[in-house]
Amino acid sequence: MAGHVDALYFALVAITAFFTILISALILFFALRYRKQRNPVATQVHGSTALELLWTAIPLGIVMIIFVWSSVLFFIQTRPPSGAMEIYAVGKQWMWKFQHTEGQREINELHVPAGRDVRMIMTSQDVIHSFYVPAFRIKADVLPGRYTSTWFHATEPGRYHLFCAQYCGTQHSGMIGEVIVMDAAEYDRWAAGAVDGSLASAGEKSFQQYGCSMCHRADMAGRGPNLIGLFGRQVLLDDGRTVTADESYIRESILNPGAKIVSGFKNIMPTFQGQLSEEEVIGLVAYVKALGSGAAGPPIPVSEPNSGSYPVAPKPEASAAKSDIPATPPTKATPAKPAAKQ
């Protein structure tokens, strides 16, 4: 990937050099050839429409080629391949906190395996930061209030700079770290050394601890929507909009539940803003993902069954046109809104 970016860069360098040299050479040549001593009388030349069209069309053609090239590159850069492993990041003034799904936590150092696709899911605890690894040629701003993501595929083991690239206050230039690329087997050994259990299991603990399981039950009788199989699916909201249940949606539902109300449910969920750290929220997000995703994906390890855990519930029935949640609980007295309302 870095090679592709460099290829575009050097092509642009070549184009820049070409035109700069061309214009400079023409200027120098004309300045000498037509200097006053040698050409005392100027020849008035009005213009030439043909020339204007030519030197409009040629640059336009060149930039269109560059546009297509860079757009193709951009599509690749912004669409992580399915099956990419995920690492969560929280940026705060002035450090990076990383959470691996296997459970490892790091500060300012990020261990990743070589030869695998890695997707970063990131948020900020305070101001806007930016996750920048020059060696990988990637950058994405890290925002408060939502998740942003980027992905990379490291090839060479080694240590690479990690910079914060969005000015964030006093120690902005101190908010730096290292990405440590290990070869894959070594990484697996390192990741297995996590002491506290996986991220999803930490999330499950929070899910019980904060009482989420009281309303979000698996048996369709809860006051809140069923979360099994939720992740990645389309959700129908009470105002008719449809949104995708991605990481940002899960996070918003926890911290800002009134923003989007699922169709058929009431706005009674309390907000957990201020009660949960970003790390706990990430754990909950990872847990919800572990409950099964609507999109096809690799099997996700599910935490050990214990007395409080969810049974595996049947997936909500999908309508022909879109799979909208929720399936309205039959016990509700008020008439259900139609599932496929637009």
Partner 1 sequence: METASQSIEPKTNYLNADYTIKSWLLTTDHKRIALLFLGSITLFFFLGGFFAMLIRLELLTPAGDLVLADTYNKLFTMHGIVMIFLFLIPSVPAVFGNFVLPMMIGAKDLAFPRLNLASWYIFMLGASFVLYAILTGGMDTGWTFYTPYSTTYSNTNVVTAAVGVFIIGFSSIFTGLNFIVTVHRMRAPGLTWRRLPLFVWAHYATSVIMVLGTPVLAITLVLVALERLFHIGIFDARLGGDPLLFQHLFWFYSHPAVYIMILPSMGVISEVVACFSRKRVFGYDFVAMSSIAIAVLGFLVWAHHMFVAGISIYAALVFSLLSFFVAIPSAVKVFNWTATLYKGSISLDTPMLYVFAFIGLFTIGGLTGIFLASVGLDLHVHDTYFVVAHFHYIMVGGGVTGFLCALHFWWPKITGKMYPESFARLSAVLVFLGFNLTFFPQFLLGYMGMPRRYHAYPPEFQVLNVLSTAGASILAVGFLMPMVYFVWSLQYGKDAGPNPYRAAGLEWMTPSPPPTFNFDETPVVTWEAYNYDEIDAPSKGVEVAG
Partner 2 sequence: MTRSMHPARGLKLPDSETAVHNLRHHFADLEQQSATAKFGMWIFLVTEIMFFGGMFASYLIYRLSYYNAWVAGSQTMEIRYGTANTAVLICSSLTMVMAVHWAKLGSRKLTALFLILTLALGLAFLGIKAVEYHEHWVHHEVPGANFHFEHTGNYDPRHVSIFFSLYFAMTGMHALHMVIGAGLLTWLLIANARGRFSPEYNSPVELVGLYWHFVDIIWIYLFPLLYLISHHHPGG
Residues near partner 2 (CB under 8 A) are 238-239, 256-259, 261, 266-267, 271
For position 4 contacting partner 1 by CB under 8 A, the verdict is: yes
The CB-of-330 to partner 1 minimum distance in angstroms stands at: 34
Please give the residues from 249 up to 268 whose contact with partner 1 meets the rule CB under 8 A: 256, 259
The CB-of-130 to partner 2 minimum distance in angstroms stands at: 23
Are 160 and 151 in contact by the 8 Å Cβ rule? The answer is no
For position 12 contacting partner 1 by CB under 8 A, the verdict is: yes
For position 59 contacting partner 1 by CB under 8 A, the verdict is: yes
Chain centroid to CA 197: 25
Kindly state the tokens that stand for 238. 């009470």
Q: Tell me the CA end-to-end span of the chain in Å, nearest whole number.
A: 40
The CB-of-232 to partner 1 minimum distance in angstroms stands at: 18
Closest CA to 199 of 332, 289, 139: 289
For position 156 contacting partner 1 by CB under 8 A, the verdict is: no
146 binds, among partner 2, partner 1, none (CB under 5 to 8 A by kind): partner 1
Residue 206 burial (CB < 10 Å; 0-12/13-18/19+)? buried
The CB-of-262 to partner 2 minimum distance in angstroms stands at: 10
Are 181 and 161 in contact by the 8 Å Cβ rule? The answer is no
- Sequence-separated (6 or more) residues with CB below 8 Å from residue 137: 1, 2, 5, 6
User: By three-state DSSP, how is residue 276 classified?
Assistant: coil
The binder of partner 1 chosen from 85, 87, 138, 236 (CB under 8 A) = 138
336 binds, among partner 1, partner 2, none (CB under 5 to 8 A by kind): none
For position 277 contacting partner 1 by CB under 8 A, the verdict is: no
The CB-of-199 to partner 1 minimum distance in angstroms stands at: 23
- Work out whether strand 109-113 and strand 177-182 pair parallel, antiparallel, or are unpaired: parallel
Please give the residues from 162 up to 221 whose contact with partner 1 meets the rule CB under 8 A: 163-174, 176
Q: 334 pairs with which residues across the strands?
A: none
163 binds, among partner 1, partner 2, none (CB under 5 to 8 A by kind): partner 1
